Amino acid sequence: MDAYATFNQVLVHLFQEILDLEAKAIITDEFRDITNNDMHIIEAVGLGSGSNMSTIAKRLRITVGSLTTSMNQLVKKMYVFRERSEEDRRIVNISLTEKGVRAYEHHRDFHEQMTRAAMKELTEEETGVLMRCLNSLSDFFHSYADKENESKKPS
């Protein structure tokens, strides 16, 4: 098998393995009432004083309408809370509850372990090559997503 075919095979399998393992690793007994998707929403909410729905939706590259359904469930399960802005009552800010912060930190810890495992055997030069490769891949995903979004817009 040539380098291109090998690289393609590794990428395809790696993406699937990451998705499968992440779902198993982050949805523990404590967080069994949420999905892997919910955990990524919690990550997008982040720590701090809160974000509004539009900002969170943009981070996730989804519509506010799609986010609302998931957010309703996360509020019900007490991972996040909503609060209307005092300055502009139309704006709803979302923040993590104490339970949400624990979920966020659990998810962050998994990502840190994964990153350390990937980098532990690399030299500084190899790390640079890997970073260029991953940045190119990220650029591809963003440009591909942008093209998909453009093609779905009404004419």
Is the per-residue pLDDT at 147 higher than 90? no
Is the per-residue pLDDT at 136 higher than 70? yes
Range 118-146 average pLDDT: 90
pLDDT tens figures, 63-89:
999 999 999 999 999 999 999 888 888
Q: What token pair was written down for 22?
A: 């992440």
Confidence of residue 98 (pLDDT cuts 50, 70, 90): very high
Is the per-residue pLDDT at 145 higher than 90? no
Proportion of the chain above pLDDT 90, given as a percent: 56
Residue 57 DSSP SS3? helix
Is the per-residue pLDDT at 126 higher than 80? yes
Q: Is residue 120 within 8 Å of residue 108, measured between CB atoms?
A: no
103 vs 20, residue with greater confidence: 103
How far, in Å, CA of 138 to CA of 132, rounded?
10
Give residue 20's pLDDT: 87
